[in-house]
Amino acid sequence: MDNFNFYSPTEFVFGKGRESECGEYVRKYGGSRVLIHYGGGSAVRSGLLDRVKSSLKAQDIYYTELGGVQPNPRDTLVYKGIDLCRNEKIDFILAVGGGSVIDSAKAIAAGTLYDGDFWDFYSGKHVEKALPIGVVLTISAAGSEGSGDSVITKEEGLLKRGTGSDALRSRFSVLDPELTQTLPAYQTACGATDIMAHVFERYFTNTKEVEITDRLCEAVLITMVKETPRVIADPNNYEARANIMWAGMVAHNGIVGVGRSQDWNSHGIEHELSALYDCAHGAGLAVIMPSWMEFVYKHDVMRFCQMATRVFGCQMNFEDPEATALEGIRRFRSFLHSIGMPINFAELGAKEEDIPVMVEKLGLGDGRTWGFVRLSAEDVTQIYMNAVKASH
C-alpha cells in the first residue's frame, strides 16, 4: 500500500427531512449572509427551495439566490455568481442540487476570494482559499457533496475542465434520500453509472496488496448492482435510495482509493463527450467505460477476473482467464443497458467524425495520459472507436 493522507472534513447530515435543519448548520459553520445556488427548477417545483429558505429564516440568516445552473455547469454563470457574492458581501454559499450546482458553487466560492480570473483554477492553478460552502443534495451521482473537486465548462471552445482542493470541500452536506425520488429514471441511472465509474477509476490500479480498498470498492459496486434496478422499478423505494445515496458519497470522497494508484482516463475521455454534446456525464461514462476496459484488460487480466467473479458473479475459467475477464466486461455493459443507459455512440447521439476533435482537445500531443495504462492519442482514438462499435 502506498503512503497517504486522508482528509474528509465534511459533516454529513443524513436522513428523511434533514434539509429543514440546514439553517442550523449554516449558522454552525459561520454563515450569516448566504447565497443559495440552485439549478434549472426541480428544487423549486418540489418545494425544496422554500423549505431551505424557511430554515434560513428561522435562524435569522440573510440570503439571496442565484438559480439557473445547467447540467455541465458553465463559466458564464460562475462569473455572475462571483459578482453577486462580492456585491452582497456573501460569506457562505449553500448549493441546493446535484453535482452541477455544487461544482458551480465551488467555483464561485474560490473565484470570489481571488483577484484574477477564476478559470486559472481550471487551468492548473491550485485553489488555496474559498468561501465556505454547504450542500443540500438532490441526486446521487457525482459525489461532489464529499469531494474536493469541481468540473466547469468554458463556453468559449467548450472546454470541460476540473480542479481539486481541500479548500473546496463542503462544510456540511445534507443527504436526504427522499429528495431523489422525483428524479426521472434516466437521471437515476446516469447517477448510478457515475458512482460505479468513480469506484472503477480507483479499482483498476497498479498498486499491489490493497485488499482493504479492493473490498471496499467491491462493496460499493455490488450495492449498486443490487439497488439500482430496485429504484428504477420503484422510484419511491426509500431504503434502496438511501443505500445508493451513501454509496455515491463513499465512492468519491476518497476513502476507497487511498494508498493505491488510480486511473481516471475514462473520466477524461468522457468529459470530451459531455462538453461537445452536452449529454449527461453518467451516460457518457456508460459508453466509454466498458470500451476502455476492453482496450486495457490485457494489462492485468487477473484484476479484471477479480471484478468479473466478485462483482458480476462470473465463474472463473482457469484455463482461459481472458474469457472470464471479457465476460465480466460484457456483464457490466449489459447491466448498464438494462438500467436504460446508452452503450454506444449512436445511442448517445455522438458522431464518429468528431473523434479527431475530441482527441485533439484532450491535448495529449505526442504524449500519453496517466494511470492504469498510459494512453497515446492513437489509443484514445481506439477506445472511442470501440464505443462506436459496441453492441448488446
Residues that bind Zn ion (CB under 5 A): 194
Q: Is 99 in the site for ligand NZQ (CB under 6 A)?
A: yes
The entry of Zn ion, ligand NZQ, none near residue 151 (CB within 5 to 8 angstroms by kind) is: ligand NZQ
- Rounded to an integer, what is the distance from CA 2 to the centroid of its chain? 24
Residue 264 neighbours by CB under 8 Å, 6+ apart: 201, 370, 371
Listed residue (89, 113, 99) closest to 37, CA to CA: 99
Distance of CA 128 to CAs 117, 229, 304, 322, 335, Å? 14, 41, 38, 46, 41
Q: Is 191 in the site for ligand NZQ (CB under 6 A)?
A: yes
Q: Is 235 in the site for ligand NZQ (CB under 6 A)?
A: no
Instruction: Compute the distance between CA of residue 361 and CA of residue 341 in angstroms, rounded to an integer.
Output: 25
The entry of Zn ion, ligand NZQ, none near residue 99 (CB within 5 to 8 angstroms by kind) is: ligand NZQ
Listed residue (95, 99, 184) closest to 140, CA to CA: 99
Distance of CA 237 to CAs 124, 160, 227, 339, Å? 42, 34, 10, 16
Instruction: Compute the distance between CA of residue 268 and CA of residue 90 in angstroms, rounded to an integer.
Output: 33
Instruction: Compute the distance between CA of residue 299 and CA of residue 322 in angstroms, rounded to an integer.
Output: 11
What 3-state DSSP class applies to 172? strand
Listed residue (48, 226, 229) closest to 138, CA to CA: 48
The entry of Zn ion, ligand NZQ, none near residue 71 (CB within 5 to 8 angstroms by kind) is: ligand NZQ
Q: Is 10 in the site for ligand NZQ (CB under 6 A)?
A: no
What 3-state DSSP class applies to 74? strand
Cβ–Cβ < 8 Å for 218, 275: no
Nearer to ligand NZQ, 23 or 284 (CB): 284
Query: Candidates 3-11, 183-191, 218-226, 343-351 — which segment interacts with ligand NZQ by CB under 6 A?
Result: 183-191
Least Å distance, CB 252 to ligand NZQ, is 6
Which residue among 25, 34, 66, 72 contacts ligand NZQ (CB under 6 A)? 72
Q: Is 165 in the site for ligand NZQ (CB under 6 A)?
A: no
Least Å distance, CB 279 to ligand NZQ, is 10
Listed residue (32, 29, 24) closest to 89, CA to CA: 32
Nearer to ligand NZQ, 43 or 375 (CB): 43
Query: Candidates 120-128, 179-187, 323-331, 368-376 — which segment interacts with ligand NZQ by CB under 6 A?
Result: 179-187
Least Å distance, CB 115 to Zn ion, is 31
The entry of ligand NZQ, Zn ion, none near residue 191 (CB within 5 to 8 angstroms by kind) is: ligand NZQ
Q: Is 81 in the site for ligand NZQ (CB under 6 A)?
A: no
Listed residue (153, 177, 190, 176) closest to 69, CA to CA: 153
Sketch the per residue contact string, 254 through 283, with ligand NZQ: x for CB under 6 A, - otherwise.
-------------x-------------xx-
Nearer to ligand NZQ, 85 or 142 (CB): 142
Q: Is 243 in the site for ligand NZQ (CB under 6 A)?
A: no
Residues forming contacts to ligand NZQ in the complex (CB under 6 A) are 39-43, 71-72, 97-101, 103, 138-139, 141-144, 147, 149-151, 179-180, 182-183, 187, 191, 194, 252, 267, 281-282
